[in-house]
Amino acid sequence: MIEIHPVPPETMPTMLAAEGYPDEKLVEQIKLRSGAVIESLFGAKNQVWLSQPESINLLALTDKRKDALSPFIMAQANQADFWLIHWACSFRPASGCEFVRASVEVRLETDAPAAPAGAIAIDMFPREIETPITLKRSLGLSPELKFSFAEVVNAEASLAEIGSSTEYIHYEPEITTFALGEPTPGWDFNKTKARPIRGSRDLFLLVKKPRATALWGRFQLTATLQTSIGRIPLPRFVAGKTAKPVIDERYLFCAHD
């Protein structure tokens, strides 16, 4: 088992803060129905924040511990690298709005030719969250490179003993993944009756990529808002600093080895 201690998201600088926008035709319809909703959509922004990724080269980490990896993984080591990518995704709704659904997709790209030589997601976390759960921040990776987290049974008592919430990761439902084993993995977030989509979520991605290539990511963000006049889809998110759709921006996860 490989032990890794990810950096808490509070210490990770922001990669982007993206603002969600509805379709232009829908905006014209909303203007006729409610100016207050327009103000909440375009005055105070509905945002999704992504922190700067933390990237860990797993083969370099286990260079002196070859027994830590399975023969299947080691057989691929001459042609492939395995990287752990960790970042935090934060949801920040405007006043009078509430995220009821959101999707974060990562399009993995390398300097290598197109598939099948490109990068793919071989594991993701969290996979499926149906009830609230608290985990220790230190994670383990099996010899087959699969995520393993230890659940905290009594999180409040543990926090009182240690005195710091940075030792823990807390997830609330509902979270599911899609496109595992593909170059376009992602997470779906859904509101439940008791818990809105709000605050930060740690996301972990284990990527297999060709040796000696840089790894990049393009983010596709979509969401649905609950407003006073009903639910409004936000199919387009724009990064504030560039005024370009997020999907048009390419973010570096790790440079050439």
150-195, pLDDT tens digit by residue?
888 665 544 444 444 578 888 989 999 999 999 999 999 999 987 8
In whole angstroms, what is the distance from residue 182 CA to residue 147 CA? 17
Q: What is the pLDDT of residue 119?
A: 94
Distance, CA of 150 to chain centre? 20
Average pLDDT over residues 204-230: 91
Amino acid occupying residue 241 = K
Q: What is the pLDDT of residue 60?
A: 84
Mean pLDDT over the full length of the chain? 83
Residues 44-73: b if buried by 16+ CB within 10 A, e if exposed = ebbbbbbbbbbbbebbebbeeeeebbeeeb
Given a cut of 70, is residue 57 above it in pLDDT? yes
Which residue in the block uniquely carries the two structure tokens 């370099």?
A: 60
Q: For residue 71, what are its two tokens?
A: 């023969």
Q: What is the pTM of this model?
A: 0.87
Amino acid occupying residue 244 = K
Q: What is the pLDDT of residue 162?
A: 44
Please tell me which residue, 6 or 89, carries the higher pLDDT value.
Answer: 89
Which residues share a beta bridge with 220? 105
Q: Strands, E, within 95-185: which ranges?
A: 98-110, 120-125, 128-129, 133-141, 147-151, 168-171, 175-178
Cα torsion 248, 103, 109, 71 to 10°: value is: 170
Average pLDDT over residues 60-67: 71
Q: What is the pLDDT of residue 159?
A: 46
* Pairing verdict, β 133-141 and 147-151: antiparallel
Confidence of residue 113 (pLDDT cuts 50, 70, 90): low
Q: What is the pLDDT of residue 190?
A: 96
Given a cut of 60, is residue 148 above it in pLDDT? yes
Q: For residue 107, what are its two tokens?
A: 């399009």
Q: What is the pLDDT of residue 229?
A: 78
Q: Residue 217: in which H helix or E strand, if any?
A: strand 215-227
- Taking CA 30 as the corner, what is the angle to CA 29 and CA 34, rounded to the nearest 5 degrees? 135
Average pLDDT over residues 44-56: 88
Please tell me which residue, 69 or 99, carries the higher pLDDT value.
Answer: 99
In whole angstroms, what is the distance from residue 122 CA to residue 76 CA? 13
Q: What is the pLDDT of residue 128?
A: 93
Q: Are 19 and 237 in contact (CB under 8 A)?
A: yes
Q: What is the pLDDT of residue 163?
A: 43
CB 11: neighbour CB atoms within 10 A?
10
Please tell me which residue, 94 or 205, carries the higher pLDDT value.
Answer: 205
Q: What is the pLDDT of residue 232?
A: 87
Give the model confidence (pLDDT) of 2-34 as tens digits: 788 888 777 778 888 898 888 877 777 766 666
Q: What is the pLDDT of residue 34?
A: 60
Given a cut of 70, is residue 64 above it in pLDDT? no
In whole angstroms, what is the distance from residue 236 CA to residue 90 CA? 17
Nearest C-alpha neighbor of 206 from the set 226, 224, 185, 222 = 185
